[in-house]
Amino acid sequence: MRHCDYIELSFRPNVELVSMVRRFVSDFYSRLLHDEDTISRVALATHELLENAVKYSTDRESRIRVDFVSDSLVVRTWNQATTDKLVQLKQAFAEMAAEPDPVVHYYGLMVRNARLTDGSGLGLARIRAEADMTLDLDIDGDVACIKAVTNLAEVSS
């Protein structure tokens, strides 16, 4: 039963542990899915989302959950963030919504952010364009929840 299979971690990691979680998620879903492409895409989303959550968490705590919802595999991260960071996140999602083509948006950010010295500003766009996943943002108080979803409708488990 797909809907019973999930991972949830709530912890105070440092960024050096993000790769460990990515590998764990990849190994976990390798046992459940026979689709290396999906596993690779979900692993990429896991790394990018969790790295952001860890980097910007104001209380150092981050939470990640990866699970099956209907015919989708969903990666969600939660972290407390500053008001400024929440505003930046809202802006980033508004920009994504304004450009329906994920690849056009991604390449545009590559050009615009090439000379950035603080962060890449590419993580979310990379998930959308390279991992072919849809993204949503939900803000509850000072907690940001980012959700990345890929459809499994055509994948046999």
Partner 1 sequence: MKTIDIPPVTGPGFAADAELDDRAVRVELRGTADIPAKNRLDEFITRLHRQAVLAGVSQVNVDFMKLDFMNSSCLKTMVSWIMDVRELPAASQYRICFRSNRDILWQRRSLNALKCFADAIVTIEA
Chain residues that interact with partner 1, rule: CB under 8 A: 15-16, 18-19, 22, 36-37, 40-41, 43-44, 47-48, 51, 55, 103, 106-107, 110-111, 113-116, 119-123, 126, 129-131
Using the minimum distance from each CB to partner 1, give the nearer residue, 61 or 130.
130
Nearest distance from residue 101's CB to partner 1, in Å? 13
Nearest distance from residue 127's CB to partner 1, in Å? 9
Distance CA 81, CA 97 (A): 22
Using the minimum distance from each CB to partner 1, give the nearer residue, 55 or 63.
55
Nearest distance from residue 91's CB to partner 1, in Å? 17
Distance CA 9, CA 29 (A): 15
> Which of 81, 59, 43 has its CA nearest to residue 10?
59
Nearest distance from residue 141's CB to partner 1, in Å? 27
Nearest distance from residue 157's CB to partner 1, in Å? 18
Using the minimum distance from each CB to partner 1, give the nearer residue, 48 or 78.
48
Half-sphere exposure of 121 (CA within 13 A, CB side): 19
Beta-carbon contacts of 89 under 8 Å, excluding residues fewer than 6 positions away, are: 81, 137, 139, 144, 146
Using the minimum distance from each CB to partner 1, give the nearer residue, 48 or 89.
48
CB 64 within 8 A of CB 53: yes
Using the minimum distance from each CB to partner 1, give the nearer residue, 125 or 144.
125
Distance CA 69, CA 99 (A): 26
